[in-house]
Amino acid sequence: MISTQFRPSASLHETVREEIMARIRNGTYQPDSLIPSASMLGEEFGVSPITIKRALRDLQSAGALVSVTGKGTYVKKRTRVLRRLDITTPSYEGASIQLHSVSREKITDPAMAVFDPPSDVMFCIRKTIFAENTPFMYDVTYLSSFVGEDIIEEFGNTFVTTALERHGIEMVNTELIIDAAPANGQVEGVFGIPSGYPMLRRFYKYTTTSPTVTVYGVVQAPFDQLACSISIPGHAQQPK
């Protein structure tokens, strides 16, 4: 029972939610472990299953728990990846990729309008980037449909910029926009997060040495799973 811990200003489901979260933080409920059922928690806490389910939904929305149909509710394993955000090329050392699809699409995300992307249909490459077998970034890349089929075939086992460089197409300028937005679509399944979960997004535009190839894209990651570092060189003060 947790009735002695109730705060006068807290509702029942808030108190239950805080207690379950406390157990996750102190290790009572370990990452990837199955927590007790709603009926068992209701009996322990002396509240209705409806109250328990409401608390569990809150924790699922916060990314602390994940529900698996037919199995139960698990503590979500949290992996935080630190990556260097290089102004010229991203650092993916030790990472691996899973290709989801290569299709022809137009850029429709309004957040990319600042890059003034073309209205033409472009190659669209969707992939997940892994670190230590854990997904930490979902990448959608667009580039000119003038790119040869031989290069497109390489996108299944390497990064777009790497494949282009192998064919003599170098990146000469990078533009970035970083923002946050609710999760929706395929990223929910990739990271096992609910719709609306806060995501860190990095939009990019790479200008290349080829006048017909410009690369656009967006990398997404749950806000609590990816951190980026950046080093900006200073300018030594010149003597007067």
DSSP structure class, residue 29: S
| Order of strands, sheet of 198-208, starting from the edge strand that comes earlier in the sequence | 95-105, 122-131, 134-143, 214-222, 198-208, 171-182
- What are the angstrom distances between the C-alpha of 93 and each of 4, 43, 96, 129, 215? 51, 49, 9, 11, 21
pLDDT at 172: 92
CA distance 42 to 45: 5
Strands (E), 58-144: 65-68, 72-75, 81-84, 95-105, 122-131, 134-143
pLDDT at 89: 47
The pLDDT confidence band at residue 78, using thresholds 50, 70 and 90, is low
The pLDDT confidence band at residue 6, using thresholds 50, 70 and 90, is very low
**At residue 204, does pLDDT exceed 90?**
yes
Alpha helices in 1-69 (DSSP H): 12-25, 38-45, 49-61
**At residue 82, does pLDDT exceed 60?**
no
Question: What is the average pLDDT value for the chain, to the nearest integer?
Answer: 81
